[in-house]
């Protein structure tokens, strides 16, 4: 299974696919710090370039699937009333389409925030965007298929063993001449307070599972276990709410990577905010994954990423249809203490 990664950031989606046995043949992002992180931890195949400047001829032709989540700053509900349907960032999906039209891969995957579908204007936007993806290749004189079959679902990260209640819209595209269609992954974990049977497998992972073994103070002997010194103030606003040791974290955000800095949740003990390493663990980046750039950049890159374990569960569904291979989750492949 060969993959092209668009808007790859520090590599959360790509890493999940690699862990499922995929080869990422080419990737792209505009953020130099994120690209440096990607190169350090994943590989040199990523190109640091504005997507508008990417020539389709520099993108390989041998991929089976394109994956990526274009920036979502115009959609995110964290912006509240300042969300803007006309934000130019909202139309970066057209660059994804430009690459897809050139490569006509068998499959594609898109990840984005729930806010893309919420609100009347935004719901119409989402429906129109889906229609544009469905039409890719439809009018081509060189293809024997009529566009892409597109479906979408909302997945919650905690359902897949991620210690975080992060919900995201996931879109699958299947080229019209391809019969094998991937499923959305079944949940592997459940909330023990709501389902005593645990028919799907395991309890949700909690903040206690994820970070309770880390030192309470900043410790530079642990990679990226440093953080924001902004005062903890508990109120009703995002980034200032009490976290519960015995529950998954609320969504780790990357909001503000272009407008004022990421929002960092308080540590459950309330003596400081979460460190870069703690939010990385909550996103399921292993302790061997080292982040580059300023602390603010590191927080933003992590918050903007797809949790790699969630990406793995998406990837294994494509592994079934592309390589006809069942992939099992192996805790030994992830440098995360609660999986040991």
Domains defined for the chain, CATH in brackets: 2-189+306-339 (3.40.50.150)
Lowest mean pLDDT among 6-20, 69-83, 233-247: 69-83
pLDDT reported for residue 121: 56
Tens-digit pLDDT profile for residues 49-103: 999 999 999 999 999 999 999 886 555 544 444 445 455 566 899 999 999 999 9
**Pair of tokens at residue 43:** 């590989």
Model pTM score: 0.92
Lowest mean pLDDT among 236-240, 274-278, 316-320, 328-332: 236-240
Lowest mean pLDDT among 43-47, 85-89, 162-166, 277-281: 85-89
Mean pLDDT of 187-209: 78
How many Å apart are CA 178 and CA 135, to the nearest integer? 15
Tens-digit pLDDT profile for residues 250-284: 999 876 444 556 789 999 999 999 999 999 999 99
> What 3-state DSSP class applies to 136?
coil
**Pair of tokens at residue 282:** 């909550």
Is 72 one of the catalytic residues?
yes
Lowest mean pLDDT among 32-36, 120-124, 214-218, 219-223: 120-124
Q: Does pLDDT of 314 surpass 60?
A: yes
In the chain, % of residues over pLDDT 70: 87
> What 3-state DSSP class applies to 90?
helix
Closest by CA to 218, choosing from 276, 266, 270, 163, is 276
Query: Rounded to whole angstroms, what are the CA distances from 82 to 1, 76, 85, 269?
Result: 40, 10, 10, 32
Active-site entry in 10, 48, 72, 200: 72
């Amino acid at each position: 299974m060969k993959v092209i990664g668009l808007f790859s950031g520090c590599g959360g989606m790509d890493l999940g696919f690699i862990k499922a046995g995929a080869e990422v043949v080419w990737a792209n992002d505009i953020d130099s710090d994120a690209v440096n992180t990607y190169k350090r931890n994943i590989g040199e195949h990523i190109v640091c370039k504005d997507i508008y400047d990417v020539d389709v001829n520099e993108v390989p032709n041998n991929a089976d699937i394109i994956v990526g989540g274009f920036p979502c700053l115009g959609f995110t509900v964290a912006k509240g009333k300042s969300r803007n349907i006309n934000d130019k960032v909202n139309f970066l999906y057209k660059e994804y389409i430009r690459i897809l039209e050139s490569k006509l891969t068998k499959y594609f995957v898109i990840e984005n925030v729930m806010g893309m579908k919420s609100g009347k204007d935004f719901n119409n936007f989402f429906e129109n965007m889906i229609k544009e993806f469905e039409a890719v290749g439809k009018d081509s004189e060189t293809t024997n298929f009529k566009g892409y079959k597109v479906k979408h679902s909302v997945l919650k990260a905690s359902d897949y063993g991620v210690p975080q209640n992060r919900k995201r819209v996931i879109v699958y595209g299947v080229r019209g001449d391809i019969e094998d269609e991937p499923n959305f992954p079944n949940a592997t974990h459940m909330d023990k307070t709501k389902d005593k049977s645990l028919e799907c497998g395991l309890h949700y992972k909690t903040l206690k599972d994820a970070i309770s073994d880390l030192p309470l103070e900043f410790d530079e002997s642990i990679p990226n276990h440093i953080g924001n010194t902004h005062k903890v103030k508990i109120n009703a606003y995002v980034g200032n709410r009490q976290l519960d040791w015995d529950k998954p974290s609320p969504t780790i955000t990357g909001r503000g990577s272009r407008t004022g800095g990421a929002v960092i949740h308080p540590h459950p003990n309330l003596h400081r905010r979460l460190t870069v390493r703690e939010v990385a663990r909550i996103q399921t980046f292993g302790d061997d994954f080292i982040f580059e750039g300023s602390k603010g950049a590191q927080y933003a890159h992590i918050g903007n990423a797809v949790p790699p374990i969630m990406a793995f569960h998406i990837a294994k569904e494509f592994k079934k249809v592309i390589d006809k291979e069942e992939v099992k989750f192996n805790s030994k492949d992830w440098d995360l203490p609660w999986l040991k």
